[in-house]
Amino acid sequence: MRALVTGGGGFLGQYIVEQLLARGDQVRVLGRRDYPDLVELGVECVRGDVADAKIVSQACAGMDIVYHTAAIAGIWGRWEDFYQANVVGTENIIAACHEHGIGKLVYTSSPSVTFDGSDQNGIAETGQYPDHYLAHYPRSKAIAEKMVLKANEPGKLLTCALRPHLIWGPRDQHLIPRLLERAKSGKLRIVGNGRNMVDMIYVENAAIAHLQAADALREGGKVCGKAYYLSQGEPVMCWVWINDLLKLAEIPPLTRKISYRAAYAIGWLMEWGYRLLGKYRSEPRMTRFLAAQLATNHYYNIAAARHDFGFEPTINIEEGMRRLAKTL
């Protein structure tokens, strides 16, 4: 297969690229920077933004499949930035797939597209999109996911969307470094009662799922036009796992708490203040979305991914933590 990976220089994207290369696929990457490490592996790199339709078209030319992982993630920022990267970027990808006769599109979505701030206890993909979102990121991802699933058309373009939750592992430059930095500086508190359960997925497992879903995208297949939750299949207690992570980095465990109600109120005030001051490039320490993510249950039923394309985590949490510990 000739595969394009958008965001192929990112955390998840790199692992997808490596797994594609390992099985003999030809790989091209579209990203906003140069990636000399990928070039050394034999990857063709196209530098550009997914919001640029011309660049996207050039990157898609000659491809058989697109893995669309590129996105702007975050708890704060301008709607226009999220819209351009996550919505317009996805529109450009779909248009380029049609233009160049690409048959398959695998979209990296997020479980947050169905998150309304309340507990999600073992829910399946039948859950509805909420009417209101607490942040621009899940709203923009939901719009993009709907477009991808709607674009599924037998004989032209087969699509699916994957919703990996809390991707972690070696080479992460966002989630884990930020957790460690905040803990070291004393800015991290347990939000809520500290017993909320969450799903997560080790990065190599998330990458494997993308290849499995892609292989299952075939005419008349079960995967076409559907969205799937992905996780380790065993939720963990959020703050216990965070303290296990801090222990790996030799950082004292968290003990101080703040109630969910107080954190949510602080998040609302910070959002209001940052918006009033026009501060969109820096990020508030707390937002309503972040408070809800840190205090509520959010774990998912992955039976559909197991049944429809054979997904099964091959690296368990304990082994993943051992591998991560070597990099901290």
Determine contact, residues 46/58, Cβ cutoff 8 Å. yes
Helix extents (H) in 251-302: 260-277, 288-295
Active-site residue identified among 35, 83, 133, 137: 137
Determine contact, residues 46/55, Cβ cutoff 8 Å. yes
Q: Which residues of 180-198 are buried (b: 16+ CB within 10 A; e: fewer)?
A: beebeeeebbbbbebebbb
Burial of residue 273, with CB atoms counted within 10 A of its CB: 0-12 exposed, 13-18 middle, 19 or more buried: exposed
Q: Which two tokens stand for residue 204?
A: 């190599």
CA 119 to chain centre: 19
Could you tell me the CA-to-CA distances from 8 to 3, 29, 122, 190, 224 in Å, in that order? 11, 5, 30, 34, 23
Closest CA relative to residue 104, chosen from 30, 140, 154 = 154
Q: Which residues of 105-118 are buried (b: 16+ CB within 10 A; e: fewer)?
A: bbbbbbbbbbbbbe
83 is catalytic: no
Determine contact, residues 230/163, Cβ cutoff 8 Å. yes
- List active site positions: 137
